[in-house]
Chains A and B, each alone.
Chain A
């Protein structure tokens, strides 16, 4: 590097060339970034502001909209369907997030050893993660079909009573959590496995020499090192859980009896089924603000944990 810098200062031709370049650089740089900037900002900043305007309007996606002020938000706060959508989403997140993170940690700890077939095991645990929610939904609708499904067939063989599964309002939401755990836990496993590589060996050795048991090493050395990763996973999985939609759309369409209507399903239904886009935008803003608050809280917590 030093010699190159030397060339720049010594050789006047090179210096002139460099100057010429820097002058023309701005235009080139803009040519490089402008397609990305236009597309990304055009399809994010503009819609975010537009959504805010929409949330104060009555709009059916076709005719000109009408300003209604805070009416959408007021209606939202009194809408029992929105309240139950919030409730379903919270139940879903309250089960999915801790189970996937803790389960992911447990499985990662088990998979963090050098034995035969270990990479096959890791691959098998992770593979459901790349399967689309639509494909998952179709597959599990088939497995859990009350009449022809393999699940009831298995229960039958075990001498257990047949279940309604997705047609049972008391089961549908929990089944969705189960399917999401099947596909989403692998992500936590992979992230934890990578983080376990970063646990300093000297610390583990030192703790062992000091007479720490296996559980002691895990509790006092491994887990504290993993804290930033755990916070990231909690954040990531919470954001995913609050935005669950595809799986619900494919399997239950919010039913039976609205038992699986989650927030995003509510938003989609209001915008594209009942064509009350302004109302839907208000619900979307409520969700976005909730996500923002959760994100900021966990960021703060992470900063404190990092210190």
Chain B
């Protein structure tokens, strides 16, 4: 086989990777431009220096820090709840025998294929009945636990050897105790996968907050960002600074959990 010289591929791969990185690079660059630089035509492609006007503007805005906090609260509760409820449910489905468990698991898995558009109107009506519309509760309740979390934990627990639990079992530990002190410490890959995917989907969600929230004090970052754009049309630097702050937690989380995250995505793809 003829082998290309080692470095030749860099000429293809580097521009390709740059192409994917370019819009995000531009996001970062434009967030530190002054408004004068942005509003010039044609706009400057390289900023004259680092100008934090935009960041000062969004962070000084009364609403923006509030949106950040709202997004943080909703995501933090969703992640915690998915870890707790998902592992409890997953453990019961993996290790405990109870009437109808197989049918119940099948039913829960089947709900994964229901498109959100089908359930969004009745979910809105349910939340309205509960008096949660226009509160963070409406965002939190539907994201407390997903069938995916339960299923992922179940798959992971099934693959753990039973011997590890049996010693604790003979020592008279209850199921909860076994789960917490024997199983969960071994389940770090499952815990981090569920945490990252839950965080990603709640932090990045726009559709449901758009439906469930009316007052701008209850907006999430994603929702706030969309209105921000219209309100401050000339303040593009501020809009981009807000966008950087919205994207940053996800990028950091991804870079930290990259390996676990990619492996889980890839294996979902392989198993289908």
Binding site for B on A (CB under 8 A): 1, 4, 7, 14, 17, 21-22, 25-26, 28-30, 32-33, 35-37, 39-41, 43-48, 50-51, 54, 61, 107, 110-111, 113, 115-118, 120-121, 123-128, 130-135, 137-143, 145, 147-150, 152-154, 156-157, 182, 186-187, 190-191, 193-195, 198, 208, 214, 228-229, 231-233, 235-236, 239, 243, 245-246, 249-250, 264, 267-268, 271-272, 277, 280-281, 284-285, 287-288, 291-292, 295, 302
A26 to B96, CA, bound (A): 8
Q: Which residues on B are within 8 Å of A, measured CB to CB?
A: 1, 6-7, 9-10, 12-14, 16-18, 20-21, 23-24, 26-27, 30, 38-39, 41-43, 45, 85-86, 88-89, 91-93, 96-99, 101, 104, 107-108, 111, 113-126, 128, 141-142, 144-147, 150, 162-163, 166, 169-170, 172, 174-176, 200, 203-207, 210-211, 222-223, 225-226, 228-229, 236, 239-240, 243, 246-247, 250-251, 254-255, 258, 262-263, 265-267, 269-270, 272
A132 touches B247 (CB 8 A): yes
A104 to chain B, nearest CB (A): 11
Query: Given A39-B144, A115-B9, A288-B115, is A131 in contact with B250 using a C-beta cutoff of 8 Å?
Result: yes
Q: Which residues of B contact A288 (CB under 8 A)?
A: 114-115, 117-118
B210 partner residues in chain A, CB cutoff 8 A: 249, 268
Contacts of A46 in B (CB 8 A): 122, 126
With A113-B9, A191-B265 given, name 17 new contacts (CB 8 A): A17-B172, A25-B97, A33-B104, A35-B89, A43-B126, A45-B107, A47-B123, A110-B13, A111-B13, A115-B6, A123-B255, A124-B18, A132-B205, A132-B247, A135-B247, A195-B270, A208-B1
Q: Could you say which residues of chain B place their CB within 8 Å of the CB of A285?
A: 118
What's the minimum C-beta distance from B264 to chain A, rounded to whole angstroms?
A: 10
Which residue in B142, B206, B229 is a CB contact (below 8 Å) of A246?
Answer: B206
What are 23 A-B interface contacts by the 8 Å CB criterion? Answer: A29-B101, A32-B96, A39-B144, A40-B146, A44-B111, A44-B147, A46-B126, A50-B125, A110-B16, A115-B9, A117-B14, A123-B255, A130-B251, A132-B203, A132-B204, A138-B228, A153-B41, A187-B265, A191-B269, A195-B266, A232-B272, A284-B117, A295-B113
A138 and B239 contact, CB distance less than 8 A: yes
Nearest A residue to B203 via CB reads A132
B24 touches A128 (CB 8 A): yes
